[in-house]
Amino acid sequence: MSAVLLQALAAGDTVRGLAAVTTDVVEEARRRHGTLPTATAALGRTLTAGLLLGATMKDDEKLSIELAGDGPLGRIQVDTEGGGRVRGYVAHPATHLPPKHGKLDVAGALGSGLLCVIRTKPWEKEPYRSIMPLVSGEIAQDIAHYLVASEQMPSAVALGVFVAGDGRTTAAGGYLVQALNGAGAAVVARMEANVARMPAVTTLIREGAAPLDILERALAGLGLGTPTEQPVAFGCRCTRERVFGALILLGADEIRDIIATEGAAEVTCAFCAEHYVVGAEELEMLIAEPAGSA
């Protein structure tokens, strides 16, 4: 398995294409969260979308994607700070529905609801939030709709996750093709025709296609430029020090109560499922007065 993302311009820099194989990323998320197949597919598609959109950001930007539906999955949350690292979780990882039309029923598991995309730019006072109804629940179509409706950027998006009979992720990835300023009608038509002929992205990956192979098919006849490559991975910002900071916010009295009743504090990160145990001695240190204080 592998995890890598390629990005390139085409058609005289009027079309942008990104393609990623994210098998390792999705399998790491499945392993950490213990997701069943439908939940694995839903989370994996969203993680891949996060990586593709994150690769279009400027330095220091942050991106968060949330899908909240009335189906059994409940909520999917993914975020990235760029750099090829992404993290995420699904509210109900044990969700698995019967297949629909031979595919995992992600739309049925998600149901009707909302897509929220938040872009945080350090040079702006407030994050930019875009909230809209889910158009299909298949995630790729919802991301494409967001890009057109909110960012006025015509885009084709494909996302896929193939889950083996034993529950492991054996193929995952996606691509994003966007018409930029200056793309003429003929260029857009060729882009659309290319995408319409593309097999499912997991079919390509299972046949051995790398991101470059996917880009060459999606941008065929458009003069593909030299691509840049970026490794991608599941990565979380949580640390033991961040856990200490969160516990301090509880206040001394509540920490003393934890020591008296539990003997230790146990914290699990929602994004990566990393489990932290903070013992009584460490808790006492958190509420101890600094030396020399009055």
Q: Is the pLDDT of residue 294 over 50?
A: no
Looking at the structure, tell me whether residues 177 and 272 fall in a common domain.
no
- Stated pTM of the model: 0.93
What is the Cα–Cα distance from 3 to 202, expressed in whole angstroms? 14
Instruction: Give the per-residue pLDDT at 290.
Output: 53
Looking at the structure, tell me whether residues 97 and 7 fall in a common domain.
yes
Query: pLDDT tens-digit profile of 102-129?
Result: 899 999 999 999 999 999 987 788 888 9
Range of the domain at 271: 240-287
- Number of structural domains found in the chain: 2
294 is a domain residue: no
272 is a domain residue: yes
Looking at the structure, tell me whether residues 14 and 88 fall in a common domain.
yes
Q: Is the pLDDT of residue 174 over 50?
A: yes
Looking at the structure, tell me whether residues 211 and 283 fall in a common domain.
no
Looking at the structure, tell me whether residues 194 and 223 fall in a common domain.
yes
Instruction: Give the per-residue pLDDT at 291.
Output: 43
Looking at the structure, tell me whether residues 207 and 251 fall in a common domain.
no
293 is a domain residue: no
* Structure-token pair, residue 23: 């098998």
pLDDT band at 1 (very low <50, low <70, confident <90, very high): very low
pLDDT band at 289 (very low <50, low <70, confident <90, very high): low
Q: Picking from 40-44, 81-85, 172-176, which range would have the lowest pLDDT averaged per residue?
A: 81-85
Average pLDDT over residues 68-75: 97
What is the Cα–Cα distance from 57 to 55, expressed in whole angstroms? 6
Looking at the structure, tell me whether residues 103 and 17 fall in a common domain.
yes
Contacts of 212 (CB under 8 A, 6+ apart): 6, 19, 227
Please state, for a pLDDT cut of 90, what percent of the chain lies above it: 87
Instruction: Give the per-residue pLDDT at 292.
Output: 39
244 is a domain residue: yes
130 is a domain residue: yes
User: Which ranges in the chain belong to alpha helices (H)?
Assistant: 23-33, 37-54, 106-110, 140-149, 185-196, 201-206, 211-218, 240-248, 252-261, 280-287
Average pLDDT over residues 86-101: 96
Contacts of 119 (CB under 8 A, 6+ apart): 57, 61, 62, 63, 127, 128
Looking at the structure, tell me whether residues 63 and 35 fall in a common domain.
yes
What is the Cα–Cα distance from 86 to 174, expressed in whole angstroms? 15
DSSP labels for 125-172?
Answer: SS-EEEEEE-SSSSSHHHHHHHHHHTT---EEEEEEEEE-TTS-EEEE
Average pLDDT over residues 32-49: 98
